[in-house]
Structure 1
Amino acid sequence: MTDTTNTSADLAEFEAEFAAQLALAPEAQDLLFRSARTANTFTDEPVSDEQLRAIYELIKYAPTAANSQPLRIVFLRSAEAKERLLPLLGEGNRAKTSAAPLVAILAADTDFHDELPKVFPHAGAAYREMYAGNDDARIGSARLSAALQVGYFILGVRAAGLAAGPMGGFDADAVSREFFPDGKHQALVIVNIGKPGENAYFERNPRLSFDEVASFI
């Protein structure tokens, strides 16, 4: 029989050894990474505009190509807004999305280049012209940079003491048409946000080790 007490103690000791190599305080490491989980149930406690603005002020520093910042966000609070979204989700994602106090649709603005002279003063005009003439490069850059911002967004939600439930499992084209009717945005991820509810978390699955994913040349 496995001694789970010793196993847990060994794991804690192992994590503590590596935590000491990091500048971030152990409590913050736990909040953002080790203890953070994808929530599947939520309480009805609301998420305030002030919390969302504080999260954005933290995550707006994510690295993006040419400081392009292509991430665009639509927040859904009302039952009516969520009713527009629910039919576009996979069946397994509908109940938890309906119950979440806030739902964020994260999308890439494929016309981000229009903002480049403002956010990249030294060379934004030149980059704008370059991207304007190359749809594939512009869309690819928008999706990659916005994906980096999505990761920061999830960490920002955790930093606010909230749980994030990021999801695929939806019709991205249909969501884009419904919530970004200008045709210039591509939905990437949907994130349920709030305080975790009862039985919010599934059992944590194993993670690959450093040696399984990293190599040195």
Structure 2
Amino acid sequence: MRQKLDDTVLDAVFRDARSYNGYTDQPVAESELHAIWDLMKWGPTSANQLPARLIWVTSDEAKQKLADACSAQNQPKILNAPVSVIIGMDTNFHEHLPELFPHADAKSWFDGNAELREASAFRNSTLQGAYFIIAARMLGLDTGPMSGFDAGKVDAAFFHNTPAVRTNFISTLGHGDPATIYARSPRPDFAKFNSIA
């Protein structure tokens, strides 16, 4: 039986965690990127689809290409972050299901149904993006997930060799600089946005 995690963990992952607009000069090692993946990959997706395809943007050249596809507000965030991550979604994820979900002929559920693959890829890669944020926080790193980019330009720059893969969203990654965060925005209590049926 699972035990409730203590408040230190809950604070680090949710209550005290923030989305950062800038980072300290402390670098992020490649081993930390592997560690994030090795944790987030265990998060559940429908039929173990795992449609997220991540590009870890670390070089100055790649940062500039990504920044060129972003809004003016987001460009300096990309250029100054130690790492940015493109969370893409593979609409041909079903090709891997014989390996990833051997319990059933899950590939056949998606063969010839592009609309279903699109919806599943978006839903489950979004879940994986959330797992990325949680994994990074649990490993002592901070993130800055964002919209504010031209998905077509990002796809052309980074997924041109894999046309079935398209951008879902982007996040920066590093050791957050507290001077770059806004005052904490409010969160509603249970009754405002929830109901029990």
TM-score normalised by structure 1 residue count: 0.86
Counterpart residue number, 1:192: 172
Q: What displacement does 1:198 show?
A: 5.3
What CA deviation, in whole Å up to 9, does each residue of 1:75-106 have, x standing for no partner? 11111111111111011001111100001000
Q: What displacement does 1:213 show?
A: 1.3
Of Structure 1 and Structure 2, the greater helix share is in 1
Residue 143, structure 1, aligned to residue 122, structure 2? yes
User: Identity over the aligned pairs, expressed in percent?
Assistant: 37
CA RMSD of aligned residues (A): 1.2
Structure 1 gap segments, 5+ residues each = 1-21
CA distance in 1, matches of 2:65, 2:145: 18
CA distance in 2, matches of 1:28, 1:53: 21
Task: Name the SS for the 1:24 alignment partner.
Answer: coil
1:66-81 to 2 correspondence within 5 Å?
66-81=47-62
TM-score normalised by structure 2 residue count: 0.95
Q: What displacement does 1:30 show?
A: 0.7
1:11-50 to 2 correspondence within 5 Å?
23-50=4-31
Select the structure of larger CA radius of gyration: 1
What CA deviation, in whole Å up to 9, does each residue of 1:106-126 have, x standing for no partner? 011111011000010111xx3
- How many residue pairs end up in the alignment? 194
Counterpart residue number, 1:18: none
CA distance in 2, matches of 1:77, 1:141: 29
CA distance in 2, matches of 1:74, 1:44: 21
Code of the aligned partner of 2:51 = P
Structure 2 gap segments, 5+ residues each = none
CA distance in 2, matches of 1:176, 1:132: 24
Counterpart residue number, 2:64: 83
Task: Name the SS for the 1:199 alignment partner.
Answer: helix
